[in-house]
Structure 1
Amino acid sequence: MPPMPGSSPQSLYLSHSRWLHGFLQRRLGNAFDAADLVQDTFVRVMLRPGTFESSSGERSYLATIARGLCIDHWRRRQLETAWLESQAGRPEHLQGSPEQRALIVETLHEVDAMLLRLPARVRQAFLLAQLDGMPYRLIAVELGVSERMVKKYLAQAFLHCALLEAELDGLLIE
């Protein structure tokens, strides 16, 4: 079957944006967040346009992108909520400006995304070392690998941290 005529991002938007907004509003429970994610979905469509066999294929493609964006949205909210809860006990003058808080939340999101890109054992070794303060010997026992392998895992994680730091270098205000 030939691709549907007019499956450009513009025609997809005109044909399916209302449906997608309703789909996202039901998932998110918020019309404003749904509107933001509709726009984000179509930005992704413009970056990776496709051809479709039917209208249901178009909706399936849009729903797949939108579901991924919902997951990102929920993860971002979880991180933001956790950070705000950790700051709740601090005096107001130590909490920073709204711009600084937004930068911190964005940086936390980037760090979380970087950690998710790491292989599971590398991520686990890194978290055990950095958050739990475990020495290499105990991490090796926990993961069932040699200390040498733990060093390799951590070197890989630190390389990713350095790359992330280089990416964010221009974004952070001290």
Structure 2
Amino acid sequence: MSTASSNTDLHRLYCDHHGWLQGWLRQRLNNSADAADLAQDTFVRVLLARTADSLREPRQYLATVARGLVIDLYRRRSLEQAYLEALALRPEQYAPSAEERVLILDSLEAIDRMLDGMGERTRGIFLAVQLDGLSYEKAASRMDVSVTTVRKHLAKALLHCLLLEEV
């Protein structure tokens, strides 16, 4: 398919459904600015996926993409709130700059996405060993599994991290 045809399909999709999508998001978020931002982000995702020409149910597809973006928005805000609460406990002279805060929040969001992609047991074992500093034996005892299971899940978690780094 040519680029011109693909652009025409995306333009038609945008013109036909942008207003509806923004209204749909506004109802769910009770915030016009967030709804406008997420509607635009939804169409950017469609553009990047190059799916505008093959949609049979465009509103259903757009709503699915937008739901994922809403989840990402709430997840990011939750991380921001937790970070700001932790930051409030620190003495003011140790507070990071605005630029450092953005970098830290972006890193926290990336870590959250990485952890979310792991299974529950794998994530628990990974955090016990990497974050809590437990030995394989202590992690096995905490998780009520064998040391072999800890090794297997930790290898799986590390492979997951490496594969994400390649993307």
TM-score by length of 1: 0.79
Task: Give the corresponding residue for 1:172.
Answer: none
Q: Deviations over 1:84-112 (max 9, x none)?
A: 10001223332111111011001000001
Give the RMSD, CA atoms, in angstroms.
2.4
Cα distance change on mapping 1:98 and 1:164 into 2, 3 Å: farther
Query: How far, CA to CA, are the matches of 1:19 and 1:95 in structure 2?
Result: 43
1:77 aligns to 2:77 (yes or no): yes
TM-score by length of 2: 0.82
SS at match of 1:90: coil
The AA in structure 2 aligned to 1:152 is K
Task: Give the corresponding residue for 1:87.
Answer: 87
Deviation at 1:59, TM superposition (A): 0.9
Cα distance change on mapping 1:99 and 1:164 into 2, 3 Å: farther
| Unaligned residue ranges in structure 1 (runs of 5+) | 1-5, 168-174
* Identity between Structure 1 and Structure 2 (%): 49
Deviation at 1:28, TM superposition (A): 1.6
Task: Give the corresponding residue for 1:128.
Answer: 128
Task: Give the corresponding residue for 1:110.
Answer: 110
Task: Give the corresponding residue for 1:52.
Answer: 55
Query: How far, CA to CA, are the matches of 1:124 and 1:98 in structure 2?
Result: 32
Query: How far, CA to CA, are the matches of 1:12 and 1:103 in structure 2?
Result: 35
Deviates more, 1:18-27 or 1:102-111: 18-27
Instruction: Identify which of structures 1 and 2 has the higher relative contact order when contacts are C-alpha pairs closer than 8 Å and 6+ apart.
Output: 1
Task: Give the corresponding residue for 2:146.
Answer: 146
Cα distance change on mapping 1:58 and 1:163 into 2, 3 Å: closer
Conserved 8 A contact 1:129-1:135? yes
Cα distance change on mapping 1:8 and 1:100 into 2, 3 Å: same
Deviation at 1:131, TM superposition (A): 4.0
Task: Give the corresponding residue for 2:41.
Answer: 40
Deviation at 1:7, TM superposition (A): 7.7
Conserved 8 A contact 1:7-1:52? no
| Unaligned residue ranges in structure 2 (runs of 5+) | 1-6
